[in-house]
A and B are shown apart, each in its own frame.
Chain A
Amino acid sequence: MSEITAEQVAHLAYLARIDLSPLEITSLTRDLGQIVDSIAKVSEVATADTPATSHPMPLTNVFRDDVVVPSLTVEQALSGAPDRAGDKFRVPAILDEE
């Protein structure tokens, strides 16, 4: 049904922020093509009048009261940080998208 190209895989890898090697792009292009061919059959039975189910249990209006609960301590919050400066997370320079 759908022919997956290496360019497509490279673009998907960009969207997913994974710096795939050229070899990986090649093998994923092949894998993805096969997988997509096998799973594309969902559209065979998915008729327009069939409603979509996004949740297995049909619950609605699950809300929480607006009541403050204790947060983590700053040390807990930052305990897993690869890098920090004071009480903030430190990240490398951000590409100019602003």
Chain B
Amino acid sequence: MPNAEMKNRAELMDFDTALELFEPVLGFEVHVELNTKTKMFCGCANEFGSGANTNTCPTCLGLPGGLPQVNKKAIESSIRLGLALGCEIAEHSRFARKNYFYPDTAKNFQTSQYDDPICHDGSITIELESGRLVTVEIERAHMEDDAGKLTHMGGATGRIQGADYSLVDYNRGGVPLVEIVTQMIEGAEHDAPEIGKTYVAAIREIAKALGVSNARMEEGNVRCDANVSLRPRGSNVLGTRTETKNVNSLRSVERAVRYEIQRQATVLAGGGTITQETRHWHEDTGITSAGRPKSDADDYRYFPEPDLLPMAPSREWVEELRLTLPEPPAARRKRLQAAWGFANLEFQDVVNSDLLDAVEATVAAGASAQAARKWWTGEIARLANAAGVAADSLVTPAQLAALIELVEAGTLTDRLARQVLEGVIAGEGTPAEVVDSRGLAVVSDDGALIGAIDAALLGQPDVLAKIRDGKVQAAGAVIGAVMKAMRGQADAARVRELVLERAQAIE
């Protein structure tokens, strides 16, 4: 019988065989960190990257005597998120204490919600690459506060195992979270890993579109716990599930679900049993490992938070908030692709580069969709990549639209436009200002061009003779010399026309 812990992936049953024997049942708990100005229960700044323990107060430090006060904006964001997930907004909701000891949890209880979550019973439909539509039912979305951040010191790996001691920074402690819990997802079959990835991507996209979260997975704004269980084909009894914690990138969600299906299938097929436990995903080795078994030690002793009052969001408020919901991201994508006339690959490129907003705003500022796409996913993305920053942090859609307009008016060539872009990024001003200050405009004054052309023709009498003889292709050498003399600031097509004209006219 194989050990429940695979030492390496080679021992795993392959995915297809696993699916032949078992049906996977999934469930996801996604934590979305809200981007309110202050924390959930106190007025400390909700800020990423501040100095350690600078955003703390008696309440979020769990000092004796500290008391919580609910952030109205966090409630509003939670309700909007719930509405975007098609949830009912509870008429009566309340906070509850989830009691457990851990050094990153200042009060040694988490202020969460138990039997009366703010949002419940929603669903979203996601589209897989095959075009298959999957509806994921949402059981609940509830509010809670985040824990502080632990750093494990000493030991070889910086991991908790083998650490000599740990350090705690409570800046993140008390930051508002919404935890979105799905119902069991059945019938996923071979698509299970992709469903995980696509579902989490959809939640992230919705949170971002609502503006309720920065939704950066790499900063932990969106975190996923993936539940997986298997049941043998032909059985209707659910298998024991495992909960793989903190799978924090889309690709990892996909890989972790796939791995867990293969691992459980290997164990079950070998006559073993699955332990109900939390598991940890290891990005480097691509496996999960056992964490704490679920047991009665998980007696969280929930009870209604006595320091906070129940909430009864009025129906009027809920409807007001419903009116603020943006177009659902999936519908918006369909609409924009049609409007812009992009091919699937072109559109995917924009979406995957997270540049939908940027392109849309650039088009709104007057640029053509194709030009906007070409610049954002091309030159700007290249520069952003090199600088290690987000493309939309380099230039504004308005600046790019102005640049594109200069190109289309013939004031700039593509090559000149790239130089202007550099100037804009360097903070030298608007594209027009950079054109002026750097003197980069195309020379459209025929007089100046004619002077240069005449000089070039007279400097190469043999070429002049060939052109006059009708050997038009010989003009290339002269055009080159002219462009060089004009330091590139000339429209090559116009130069060509003038060269042919002057070759006949010149004395």
> Do A and B touch (CB < 8 Å)?
yes
Enumerate B139-183 residues with CB–CB distance to A below 8 Å: 150-154, 159-161, 163-170
Stretch of B9-17, B48-56, B417-425 lying at the A interface? B48-56
Stretch of B225-233, B305-313, B397-405, B492-500 lying at the A interface? B305-313
Partner of B37, one of A55, A66, A98: A66
A65 beta carbon closer than 8 Å to chain B: yes
* Contact A94 B53, CB 8 Å, known A15-B301, A55-B309, A68-B37: no
Question: A39–B101 Cα gap in the complex (Å)?
Answer: 28
B280 beta carbon closer than 8 Å to chain A: yes
Q: Chain A contacts of B56 at CB under 8 A?
A: 71-72, 77
Interface string of A79-91 (1 = CB under 8 A from B): 0100001111111
Partner of B310, one of A60, A74, A77, A97: A60
Task: For A75, give the chain B residue with the smallest CB separation.
Answer: B53
Q: Chain A contacts of B150 at CB under 8 A?
A: 94
Interface string of A14-38 (1 = CB under 8 A from B): 1101000000000000000000000
Q: Do A74 and B168 have beta carbons less than 8 Å apart?
A: no
Q: Do A88 and B169 have beta carbons less than 8 Å apart?
A: yes
Least Cβ–Cβ distance between A82 and chain B, in angstroms: 12
Q: Do B301 and A88 have beta carbons less than 8 Å apart?
A: no
B45 beta carbon closer than 8 Å to chain A: yes
Partner of B43, one of A15, A63, A68, A86: A68
Partner of A92, one of B37, B55, B165: B165
Partner of B160, one of A64, A78, A98: A98
Q: Do B75 and A63 have beta carbons less than 8 Å apart?
A: yes
Stretch of B65-73, B353-361, B465-473 lying at the A interface? B65-73
Chain B contributes a number of interface residues (CB within 8 A of A) equal to 59
Q: Do A66 and B167 have beta carbons less than 8 Å apart?
A: no
Partner of A94, one of B37, B69, B103, B296: B103
B299 beta carbon closer than 8 Å to chain A: yes
Partner of A67, one of B37, B52, B310: B37
Q: Do B54 and A74 have beta carbons less than 8 Å apart?
A: yes
Enumerate A1-60 residues with CB–CB distance to B below 8 Å: 11, 14-15, 17, 54-55, 59-60
Instruction: Give the total number of A-B pairs whose CB atoms are below 8 A apart.
Output: 131
Task: For B41, give the chain A residue with the smallest CB separation.
Answer: A64
Question: A74–B57 Cα gap in the complex (Å)?
Answer: 10
Enumerate B286-323 residues with CB–CB distance to A below 8 Å: 291-292, 296-297, 299, 301, 304, 306, 308-313
Least Cβ–Cβ distance between B242 and chain A, in angstroms: 15
Q: Do A54 and B53 have beta carbons less than 8 Å apart?
A: no
Q: Do A98 and B58 have beta carbons less than 8 Å apart?
A: no
Q: Chain B contacts of A87 at CB under 8 A?
A: 51-54, 169
Q: Do A88 and B52 have beta carbons less than 8 Å apart?
A: yes
Question: A87–B63 Cα gap in the complex (Å)?
Answer: 17
Question: A71–B57 Cα gap in the complex (Å)?
Answer: 5
Q: Do B304 and A54 have beta carbons less than 8 Å apart?
A: yes
Q: Do B103 and A91 have beta carbons less than 8 Å apart?
A: yes
Task: For A15, give the chain B residue with the smallest CB separation.
Answer: B299
Task: For B176, give the chain A residue with the smallest CB separation.
Answer: A66
Q: Do B304 and A68 have beta carbons less than 8 Å apart?
A: no
Q: Do A91 and B166 have beta carbons less than 8 Å apart?
A: yes
Q: Do A66 and B164 have beta carbons less than 8 Å apart?
A: no
Interface size bracket, A side: 35 or more
Q: Do A88 and B53 have beta carbons less than 8 Å apart?
A: yes
B413 beta carbon closer than 8 Å to chain A: no
B38 beta carbon closer than 8 Å to chain A: yes
B192 beta carbon closer than 8 Å to chain A: no
* Contact A71 B167, CB 8 Å, known A17-B101, A98-B280: no
Least Cβ–Cβ distance between A55 and chain B, in angstroms: 6
Least Cβ–Cβ distance between B442 and chain A, in angstroms: 51
Least Cβ–Cβ distance between A11 and chain B, in angstroms: 8
Q: Chain B contacts of A66 at CB under 8 A?
A: 36-38, 71-74
Question: A15–B54 Cα gap in the complex (Å)?
Answer: 31
Question: A64–B44 Cα gap in the complex (Å)?
Answer: 12
Partner of B70, one of A64, A69, A78: A64
B61 beta carbon closer than 8 Å to chain A: yes
Question: A91–B74 Cα gap in the complex (Å)?
Answer: 31
Q: Chain A contacts of B166 at CB under 8 A?
A: 90-94
Question: A91–B101 Cα gap in the complex (Å)?
Answer: 13
Question: A67–B73 Cα gap in the complex (Å)?
Answer: 10
Least Cβ–Cβ distance between A32 and chain B, in angstroms: 16
Q: Chain A contacts of B61 at CB under 8 A?
A: 72, 77
Q: Chain B contacts of A77 at CB under 8 A?
A: 53, 56, 61, 170
Further contacts, 19 of them, CB under 8 A, given A63-B75, A89-B168:
A15-B297, A15-B301, A55-B309, A71-B44, A72-B61, A80-B63, A87-B53, A87-B169, A88-B53, A89-B167, A90-B165, A90-B168, A91-B103, A93-B154, A94-B160, A96-B160, A98-B159, A98-B160, A98-B280
26 A–B contacts from the bound complex (CB under 8 Å)? A15-B301, A60-B310, A60-B312, A61-B309, A62-B69, A64-B70, A66-B36, A66-B73, A67-B38, A68-B37, A69-B44, A69-B57, A71-B54, A72-B61, A74-B51, A74-B54, A85-B153, A88-B53, A89-B53, A89-B168, A91-B165, A91-B166, A93-B163, A94-B150, A97-B291, A98-B291
Q: State the 7 A-B residue pairs at the shortest beta-carbon distance, nearest first.
A: A69-B43, A66-B73, A63-B72, A88-B167, A87-B52, A64-B69, A89-B168
A residues lining the B interface (CB < 8 Å): 11, 14-15, 17, 54-55, 59-69, 71-72, 74, 77-78, 80, 85-94, 96-98
